[in-house]
Amino acid sequence: MRRLFGSVRARATLGASLVVALALVAAGAAVLFSLRANLTGQADGRANAAAREVASQLAANRPYADLDLPDGDEAPVQVVDENGTLVAASEDLERISGTGTDAVKPRPATRPTQGDGDGEKPEPGETGEIDDEAEYTDGSATVDGESGDYRFAAVEVSTQDRGDLTVHAGGSLADEQSAVSTALTSMLIGFPLLLGVVAGVTWLVTRRALRPVAAITAEMSAITASEDLARRVPEPDTHDEIARLARTTNETLTALETSVERQRRFVADASHELRSPIASLRTQLEVGAAHPELLDVDGAVEDTVRLQELAADLLLLARLDAGEKPGGARVDLAAFVREELSQRTRDRVDVHTDLRSVEVVGSRGQLARVLGNLLNNAQRHARSRVRVTTRTDGMWAVLEVSDDGSGVPPDERERIFERFVRLDDARTRDEGGAGLGLAIARDVAARHGGTLVVKEAPSGGALFELRLPGPQSSAE
C-alpha cells in the first residue's frame, strides 16, 4: 500500500478523486437543498392559495355547511374558531398533525352564527377581513386511508358575526419527496461512476504525462550502472516541466562529464609531472650513493625545490577545487609587492616597479602565490626587464605584471590559463614550469571576486592584468 501511494501517479489520481468527490458532494447537497426549497415553496403556494380560497368564502359570510372545500387528498382543510374549536373540515379527513389541533370532526360553534336568534345579522354586502400574512408549518394528514406529509398554511379571517377564524390548508409534499428521492438515487448511482471515470482518466493522463520521467529514470539508472557519463537521457518534444527537467539533467551530465574528464586529465598530468623530478632526484642519489664524488648536490636541490613547488601547487589547487574561501585581511598592494620582491633571490632579469598604494581584502598567502606565479612566468619569457604596476581603476584595484618577451598570441590567451598547458613545447621542464601557475592565479583571482587576463604589453611582450574589488566593493 505504501509503495502504491508512493508514486506520483497514484497520489495524483487519489488527489483528483478526492477533490472531485468533495465538489460532487457539495454540488449534490446544493442541488438537493435548492430542489427541496423550490418544491417546498410550491407546496407553500398551493397551501396558501387553498387557505385563502376558503378564507374568502368565510369573509363573505358563507355558512360552514355551504363552504366549498378542496378535495381532502389535494389540500386537507381545517377551520378553527377563536376558541380553538374545529368548525369545518375536509371530507374523509381521518388524521391531521401540525396545525395546532388534531380534531377532524367539526363541532358546533361556541359563538352565534348567521341565522341564530341571539346573533346580530350582518348588513347586506358586509364582508370580513383576511390577514395578508400566512404562517407555515410542517405536518401530516390521513385522507380516505392515504397518509402523507404536508406544508400547512394558516390564514386568519376576522368576521363580525363569527369572530376570528383560522383556516389551515395543506399543500402535499409528495412531489418534493419524490423528486428529492429520485435526485438522491441518481446521485448515489451517478457519483461513484463519475468518480471512477475521473480516477481512470487521471490515471491514464498522468501515466502518459510521466512516461518521459520513467524513461529518464531508466536511463539515469543505466548511466549509474555503466558509469558512462557520455550517455544522455531522452528529451521529450514538449515545452513542459518534464522537458526542462530532461534538458537540465543532460546539462548536468555534460558538466559532470567535463569535470570528471578534467579530473582524470589532472591526475594523469600531475602523475606525469611528478615522475620527472622524482626520477631525476632518484638517479642523482643512486649515482651519489655509488660514486660520492659524482653527486650533483645543486641538481638534487633544484629537483627537490621543483618537487616541493609542484606539490604545493597541487595542494593549493585541491583546496581551491574544494571551495576554500579567501580570508578577510586588508592588504596594501604596494607594500605587499615590495615585501614579496625583497624575498626573491633567483630572478634572471631585473624587476622594475611603479607602485601606488591601494588596498584589497583577501588571503595574503593566496595573493602572494598569484604574484609569485606571474613573476616566475615573466622571468621565463622576458628578454631584459619585468615591470610590476599597481593602480586604481574606479572601484577596482589593479596589479599588472609585464615583460618584454615575445608575448602571447591572441588565439592562445585563454588557453594558457588551463592546467598543465605550455605554449612552448620545445622548452624543457627545467626551464619551464608544470603549467599550473597561471591556472592557480586565475582561480585565486576568481575566488577573490576579481579577474585575470593577458594583454599585449607596450614593450611587445605579455601583460597580465589582475583586477580585484576594493574594500568597499567587497563589503557590499
Q: What CATH number is associated with residue 443?
A: 3.30.565.10
Kindly state whether residues 160 and 303 are assigned to the same domain: no
Domain assignment of residue 206, yes or no: no
**Predicted pLDDT of residue 126:** 56
**106, 87 in Cβ contact below 8 A?**
yes
Residue 321 clears pLDDT 80, i.e. is over it: no
Domain assignment of residue 222, yes or no: no
Span 70-123, pLDDT tens digits = 876 678 999 999 888 999 998 888 899 999 888 989 986 555 544 443 444 555
Q: Which amino acid is at 353?
A: T
Last residue of a domain, one of 179, 202, 226: 179
258 vs 462 pLDDT, higher one: 462
Q: DSSP class of residue 410?
A: G
Q: Domain total for the chain?
A: 3
Kindly state whether residues 266 and 330 are assigned to the same domain: no
424 vs 285 pLDDT, higher one: 285
Kindly state whether residues 32 and 160 are assigned to the same domain: yes
Domain assignment of residue 294, yes or no: yes
**Predicted pLDDT of residue 390:** 95
**Predicted pLDDT of residue 72:** 66
Mean pLDDT across 311-327: 78
Helices and strands per DSSP (H, E), number in the chain = 8, 14
Beta-bridged to residue 141, according to DSSP, are 96, 148
Span 169-201, pLDDT tens digits = 999 888 888 888 998 898 889 889 988 998 888
Residue 403 clears pLDDT 90, i.e. is over it: yes
Q: Where are the alpha helices (DSSP H) in 60-81?
A: none
Last residue of a domain, one of 159, 179, 199: 179
Span 18-32, pLDDT tens digits = 998 999 899 989 998
Kindly state whether residues 348 and 434 are assigned to the same domain: yes
**141, 90 in Cβ contact below 8 A?**
no
Q: For the chain, give the mean pLDDT.
A: 84
Mean pLDDT across 140-153: 91
386 vs 12 pLDDT, higher one: 386
Last residue of a domain, one of 284, 309, 334: 309
Question: Which residue range forms the structural domain that includes residue 23?
Answer: 13-179
Name the band, by pLDDT with cuts 50, 70 and 90, for residue 422: low
Task: Give 148's Cβ-side CA count (13 Å radius).
Answer: 23
Residue 426 clears pLDDT 50, i.e. is over it: no
Residues 6+ apart with CB under 8 A from 61: 114, 122, 126, 127, 128, 159, 161
Domain assignment of residue 104, yes or no: yes
Kindly state whether residues 248 and 396 are assigned to the same domain: no
**Predicted pLDDT of residue 306:** 77
For β-strands 385-393 and 350-354, DSSP reports them as parallel
Domain assignment of residue 101, yes or no: yes
Alpha carbon 89 to chain centroid, angstroms: 71
Q: What is the DSSP string of 256-308?
A: HHHHHHHHHHHHHHHHHHHHHHHHHHHHHHHHHHH-GGG--HHHHHHHHHHHH
List the grid coordinates of 475.
563589503
**Predicted pLDDT of residue 331:** 93
Kindly state whether residues 43 and 139 are assigned to the same domain: yes
Burial of 13 by CB count in 10 Å (0-12 exposed, 13-18 middle, 19+ buried)? buried
Kindly state whether residues 152 and 42 are assigned to the same domain: yes
Mapped onto helix, strand or coil, the DSSP state of residue 98 is coil
Kindly state whether residues 114 and 163 are assigned to the same domain: yes
- CA–CA separation, 375 vs 341, rounded Å? 9
The region of weakest confidence among 44-53, 112-121, 395-404 is 112-121
List the grid coordinates of 82.
377563536
Q: DSSP class of residue 112?
A: -
**Predicted pLDDT of residue 430:** 45
Mean pLDDT across 289-313: 79
Domain assignment of residue 188, yes or no: no
Mean pLDDT across 429-435: 55
Kindly state whether residues 367 and 458 are assigned to the same domain: yes
State what percent of residues in the chain have pLDDT above 90. 33
Kindly state whether residues 259 and 366 are assigned to the same domain: no
Name the band, by pLDDT with cuts 50, 70 and 90, for residue 165: very high
φ, ψ for residue 428 (rounded to 5)?
A: -75, 160
Q: DSSP class of residue 416?
A: G
Could you tell me the CATH number of the domain that includes residue 254? Answer: 1.10.287
Kindly state whether residues 440 and 331 are assigned to the same domain: yes
Domain assignment of residue 4, yes or no: no
Kindly state whether residues 123 and 253 are assigned to the same domain: no
The region of weakest confidence among 181-185, 257-261, 391-395, 418-422 is 418-422
Domain assignment of residue 429, yes or no: yes
